[in-house]
Amino acid sequence: MLTSSSLPLEERFPKALGKTQSTHSTMAKYKLEYLWLDGYQPVRNLRGKTQIKEFASFPKLEELPDWGFDGSSTRQAPGGSSDCVLKPVAVYPDSTRKNGVVVMCEVYKADGTAHESNDRATILDDPDTWFGYEQEYFLYQDGRPLGFPENGFPAPQGPYYTGVGYKNVGDIARQIVEEHLDICLDAGINHEGINAEVAKGQWEFQIFGKGSKKAADEMWVARYFLNRLCEKYCLDVEYHCKPLGDTDWNGSGMHCNFSTKYMRETGGEAYFLALMAQFEKNCAEHIAVYGPDNHLRLTGLHETQSIDQFSWGIADRGASIRVPHSFKKNGWKGYLEDRRPNSQGDPYAISSRVLKTIGEVPKP
C-alpha cells in the first residue's frame, strides 16, 4: 500500500514546490500537409507533402515552422540551386486523417524574397471587401464526364441543373459532393453550398470570405480537398472551362461575387454606373487574369457574354456582370456578380484585379 510518505516529493507538496499539475505534458504527433502552388503556366497546380511534428494541442499558425522543397521538380528553380521555402499562411483541421492538419503556404526563395510564382504575396487585400466564389467543375472518369456514354452524348441539357434522381446525377456524384462539403465544414472553411450544374457530370460549390486572401486561401484548400477525395473514387476533377469543346454543353465558370463596405452601406446609382464604366474600361485587364481559354467559354451563348464585350444587367445571366434584383431595390447597394472568371481562374489574381478596378473609382 502506498502511504503519503512513499509518494514523490513533488506530489506530496505540490503547492510548496510550485507544481500544481503533472510534470509530464502530453504531446501528440500531428500530420502537417503543407500545400503550395507550383510554377506551371497558365494554370498553377496544387502540390503537397507531409511532415510529422509534436504539439500539445492543434497547432496555431505561429507555431508552424517554415519548410523546404525541391523547386526544380515544380518549375520553380533550376536543378543547381533547387531549394525553395514554404512559409505557412493559413491552417485548417483535416478530419480525414488522425491529427490531420492542412497548412496553406506561400513560396519564397532562399534569400527571403517572394518567389515569382507567389501571386498571393503581392495581391491587393481588404478585409472589408467580401468575396463569394462559385466553383463549377466536372467529375471525369475514363476521359469523359461522369454519366456520359463511351460514345456520343447523354440526353441534352435541361434536367441536370439542381437535378435529383439516378438518371440525372448517377449513383456516386452526390456522395462525393456531400463528403467534400463535410470535409470543408470540418476544416472551418466558409463553404456556402452545393448543387448539380447544367451539364451532366457538372457540379458547383460556393466559398465565401472576408478579404481577398482569406477567400482565395479557402478556395484553394477546398479544391485540394476535392481533388484528394476523388482519388479514392478513381475520378478526376476537370476544371477546364470548356472541356467538351464547341458543343451544345455548358462550360464551367467561377463567378466572383463581391462587395465593398461602401457598396454595402452607401452605394447609389451614380456610384454604380461609374463602377460599371471602369469595369468596361478595364475589360481586357480583367479577362487577362480570369482564367485560360476563356474565349472558348465566353461566346455569348450558354449564359455568357462575348469575351470582347462588356455588359451589365438586372438578373441577366448573359451579361458580364449580373446585378441582383435586391441590389437595385436596396438603393443600388449590396453585392454584384462578375460572371466572367472561369473555373481554372486563380482567385488570388481575380480578387486583386477586382479590388484594383474598384479602387480607381472615386466615391461621390
- Kindly state the average pLDDT of the residues 193-219: 97
DSSP for 137-152 reads EEEEETTEETT--SSS
Give the residue range(s) of CATH 3.10.20.70 domains in the chain: 28-118
Retrieve residue 338's grid coordinates. Answer: 462578375
Q: Whole-angstrom Cα distance, residue 276 to residue 352? A: 17
* DSSP annotation of 254: E
Round to whole Å and give the CA distance between 289 and 300: 19
Residue 137 has pLDDT above 90, yes or no: yes
Where exactly does CATH 3.30.590.10 map onto the chain?
130-359
191 pLDDT more than 70: yes
Q: Higher model confidence: residue 111 or residue 24?
A: 111
How far separated are the first and last CA of the chain, in Å rounded? 84
Residue 83 has pLDDT above 80, yes or no: yes
**Span 26-46, mean pLDDT?**
97
pLDDT at 16 over 70: no
Give 364's pLDDT tier (boundaries 50, 70, 90).
confident
Share of the chain above pLDDT 70, in %: 93
pLDDT, average across residues 247-264: 97
What pLDDT is stored for residue 135 in this prediction? 98
pLDDT for residue 8: 52
Nearest to 48 by CA among 31, 65, 28: 31
Question: What does the mean pLDDT of the chain come to?
Answer: 94
pLDDT at 346 over 60: yes
pLDDT for 11:
52
* pTM exceeding 0.85: yes
Q: What does the block give as the cell for 180? A: 467534400
Helix (H) or strand (E) holding 203: strand 202-210
Among 330, 307, 327, 306, which residue's Cα sits nearest to residue 315?
A: 327
Encode 167-198: b = buried (16+ Cβ within 10 Å), e = exposed. ebbbeebbebbebbbebbebbebbbeeeebbb
Torsion angle of the four alpha carbons 310, 312, 313, 319, in this order, in degrees rounded to the nearest 10: 40
- Taking CA atoms, 345 is separated from 193, 223, 293, 313, 340, in Å, by 20, 12, 10, 23, 10
Domain 130-359 has CATH 3.30.590.10: yes
Q: Find the mean pLDDT for residues 287-292.
A: 98
- Give the mean pLDDT of 310-325: 97
Per residue in 213-244, pLDDT (tens digit) is 999 999 999 999 999 999 999 999 999 999 99
CATH topology for the 28-118 domain: Ubiquitin-like (UB roll) (3.10.20)
Distances (CA, A) of 161 to 84, 203, 245, 250: 44, 9, 19, 11
Is 71 a residue whose pLDDT tops 90?
yes
| Region 113-134 average pLDDT | 97
